[in-house]
């Protein structure tokens, strides 16, 4: 395998920094209150045993999906890089720690989390997109919403 030159490493680092900046711009535009909303999610875990705040765990999951990371193990490997750990804690406005939670910790937390809490968060995000008319350009003939039916899983919305 070819060893990267310093110039190539700098270019990769610059590209990654630009991608993070772009992601944060999109987040600030479409979901300006996202971080605060995540912090307001009720954490049902025993408070005396908590090492990682709920916002760290939920934001990791949002980033996992935004980055098209398919597995929890891959998320663990990709995110527990010093620079990534530092950036996530900085974005969330939390005191920096050495590591992000392991995927087993994330799974355990998500098991204990009330689905209604996540539903409220998702509903607020979708409502915000609709209110900003973010998808109006996608209307059929400029006035009709298209409905997509996916019958691969049993799920419903109220």
Report the predicted TM-score, pTM, of the whole model to 2 decimal places: 0.75
Of 88, 46, 51, 48, nearest to 67 (Cα)? 88
For residues 144 and 3, what is the distance between their CA atoms, to the nearest angstrom? 54
Residue 33's pLDDT is what? 93
Helices then strands, each counted (H, E), the chain = 7, 0
Per-residue pLDDT 10s for the chain (158 aa) are: 577 788 877 777 777 667 788 888 888 988 999 999 999 988 888 788 888 899 999 999 998 988 888 898 998 888 888 888 898 899 999 998 988 999 999 999 889 888 888 899 989 988 888 888 877 887 888 888 777 776 666 666 55
Alpha carbon of residue 90 to chain centroid = 15
Residue 36's pLDDT is what? 94
Residue 16's pLDDT is what? 66
Whole-Å CA distances, 124 to 38, 81, 128, 131: 11, 31, 6, 10
């Amino acid at each position: 395998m070819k060893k990267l030159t310093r110039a190539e490493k700098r270019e990769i680092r610059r590209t990654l920094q630009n991608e993070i900046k772009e992601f944060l711009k999109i987040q600030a535009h479409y979901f300006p209150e996202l971080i605060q909303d995540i912090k307001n999610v009720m954490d049902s875990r025993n408070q005396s045993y908590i090492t990682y705040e709920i916002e760290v765990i939920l934001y990791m999951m949002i980033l996992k999906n935004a980055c098209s990371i398919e597995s929890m193990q891959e998320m663990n490997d990709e995110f527990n890089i010093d620079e990534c750990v530092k950036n996530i804690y900085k974005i969330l406005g939390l005191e920096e720690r050495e590591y992000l939670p392991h995927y087993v910790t994330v799974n355990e937390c998500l098991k204990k989390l009330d689905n209604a809490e996540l539903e409220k968060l998702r509903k607020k995000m979708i409502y915000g997109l609709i209110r900003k008319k973010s998808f109006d350009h996608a209307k059929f003939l400029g006035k009709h919403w298209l409905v997509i039916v996916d019958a691969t899983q049993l799920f419903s919305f109220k």
